[in-house]
Amino acid sequence: MNALLSMYAWLETGLVSLTGFCIQAPLAVITWPFDKRKVVTGRAFRLIGVTAARLNPFWKFGIHGTYVRPAPRTVVVSNHESNADPFIISMLPWEMKWMAKASLLKIPVVGWSMWLAGDIPVRRGEKDSAVQAMGICKRWLDKGMPIMIFPEGTRSKTDELLPFKDGAFRLAIETGADVLPLAVSGTRRALPKHSWRFATARALVTVGTPISTKGMTLVDLERLKTMAREQILQMREQLKPLTSAGDVPVGEPARTAESR
């Protein structure tokens, strides 16, 4: 039964992605002359993911707690449990450009949508690619567009966070951007690593407190990483009881605080 439902869920996700791309592509042409930040095509792509998640029979995803919309110059960081993470993080109602594996942008339809959205490809283990990707991130930040990065670099195979890489935090310090930690919980069960089968899961994303990098230099890089990591760990621990108990509701609709 799980295999059949998983095949249905993949089919549903594929159809939603194809339909969304057919809407996103004309929007890209129409908005190209005036939407230089690709807000319209970016939000269209995020909503494709949200729609697929809402229709997935295995998943019950939501936003927990209040949150602050990030300042235009913000590097957003989150723990990375599964390939389902982008689906739930896309529920947050603001646009940001995502750093992603270059191979993802080569996937038909989904990769094309990522390209139209302005997401940033990077090839793992290649210094030149990382430098180029960070340059693109800086240009987006200069345009007032937040950047989304998973500082672990890949999904953790266990419940433990992997070490944080320097890139996101170096970017924030060098550009004077805030760092906004997010935490996700429950997505590891939603789509386990190295498995094509979905699983029933309640998952939540929550938004932390922005960390200012004003006055920081690269000497403060490790301290900044530690501050973000501690926030993520604390928020994740708060979410775990809500995402592990089957009889606990996903949570009340999130309330938006005014942007700082």
pLDDT in tens, 182-198: 999 999 989 877 788 89
State the Cα–Cα distance between residues 250 and 145, nearest whole angstrom. Answer: 30
pLDDT of residue 33: 95
Q: What is the pLDDT of residue 191?
A: 86
Are 64 and 239 within 8 A, CB to CB? yes
pLDDT beneath 70, residues of the chain: 245-260
In the block, tokens 């059949």 appear at 4
Locate 136 and state its tokens: 């693109």
Structure tokens at 251: 């949570």
Pairing of strands 178-185, 201-207: antiparallel
pLDDT for residue 91: 97
- What is the structure's pLDDT at 236? 96
| pLDDT for 156 | 78
Which domains are present in the chain?
A: 2-246 (3.40.1130)
Closest-CA residue to 215 (of 179, 168, 176):
176
pLDDT of residue 244: 83
What pLDDT, on a 0 to 100 scale, did the predictor assign at position 192?
79
- Could you read off the pLDDT of 209-231 as tens digits, one per residue? 999 999 999 999 999 999 999 99
Q: Give me the pLDDT at residue 32, please.
A: 95
CB 71 within 8 A of CB 213: no
Instruction: Concatenate the DSSP letters of all residues of 52-83 into one string.
Output: HHHH-TTEEEEEES-EEPPPSSEEEEE----T
| Residue 193 confidence (pLDDT) | 75
